[in-house]
Amino acid sequence: MNDTPTLFDWTGNLVSGLGVTLLITALGTALMLVVSIVLGLLARSQRLPVRGMARTIIEFFRGTSLPIQLWWLFFALPLLGIKFDAVFVGVLAFGLNYGAYGAEVVRGSINSVPRTQWEAAIALNLSPWQRMTRVIWPQAIALMIPSMNNLFIQLLKSTPLLYTISLVDLMTMGESFRFAGGNETVMYLALMVIYFILAYAVTFLSNMAEIVAKSKLGRHEGLRSVFRPRKPVPSEVAP
């Protein structure tokens, strides 16, 4: 009798691990977006203390390694009497790390809205809140989606790090297959295909979101453009 597992035998385990991977990716992405918007807006504040605080947080999480942040939250904090669930740690680490990068995308996209749009909003005597929500922000969203898509994919591809904090994700199930004596080549090939499909799905959704954002600005694109690679469009930088 052959006790060596096959990929078919491991399908249930892979599906279970995939669920954990998708959960952390979805929650981490949601937190990342919140952090990105908050820090990105604070980094443009005219108040030096506020801007300085935002820059400090951004540079700290961009300047320190994601694995170190993950391990510090999971292994070091309990030594100080603070312990979080592994899922919470994964979401928090991914959200803060990629949120710091996303904050720069938000800030840069707002600054990339053409100067004439800022001047027109001022000429219409709109308040700062109205200028941002009605004129600047809708245009900035369309600009930031392609760069945010890259961060979404990077976050997804970082989820194998969850293996190091005892979360049974997709990568963990792949490793357990190897430890059980399964064919490593087949499993790693299967994992690459799964991650590729997930990354392409993220790109597809991001392209759809970009089309919707542009349509609200009167720049309508056909559905075929969903499958075309996106590239940044240079814009005049506002002061």
pLDDT in tens, 126-169: 888 888 888 889 999 999 999 999 999 999 999 999 999 989 99
Q: How many helices (H) and strands (E) does the chain have?
A: 9, 0
Residues constituting the chain: 239
The contacts of residue 140 (CB under 8 Å, 6+ apart) are 106, 109, 110, 112, 113
d(CA 133, CA 110): 11
Whether residue 229 is contained in a domain is answered as: no
Where is average pLDDT lowest: 73-87, 148-162, 222-236?
222-236
10 Å Cβ neighbour count for 70? 22
Q: How confident is the model at residue 2 (pLDDT cuts 50, 70, 90)?
A: low
User: The CATH number of the domain where 72 resides is what?
Assistant: 1.10.3720.10
Q: Give the confidence band of 48 by pLDDT, cuts at 50, 70, 90.
A: very high
Give the integer Cα–Cα distance in Å for 27 and 99: 12
CA distance 197 to 20: 16
* 170-179 helix and 11-42 helix, angle to the nearest 10 degrees: 140
pTM of the model: 0.87
Residue 232, pLDDT > 80, answer: no
AA letter at 22: L
Question: Smallest Cα–Cα separation from 146: which of 224, 24, 43, 229?
Answer: 229
pLDDT at 237 over 50: no
pLDDT of residue 234: 41
* Domain of residue 114, residue span: 8-222
Tokens of 65: 């390694």
Q: Report pLDDT for 9.
A: 85
pLDDT at 61 over 70: yes
Among 100, 92, 90, 101, which Cα is nearest to 159's? 90
pLDDT digits (tens, 9 = 90+) for 197-220: 999 999 999 989 888 888 887 766
* Residue 183 domain-assigned (yes or no): yes
**pLDDT at residue 235, as a whole number:** 39
Number of structural domains found in the chain: 1
Tell me the pLDDT tens digit for each residue of 184-203: 899 999 999 999 999 999 99
Does 233 map to a domain?
A: no
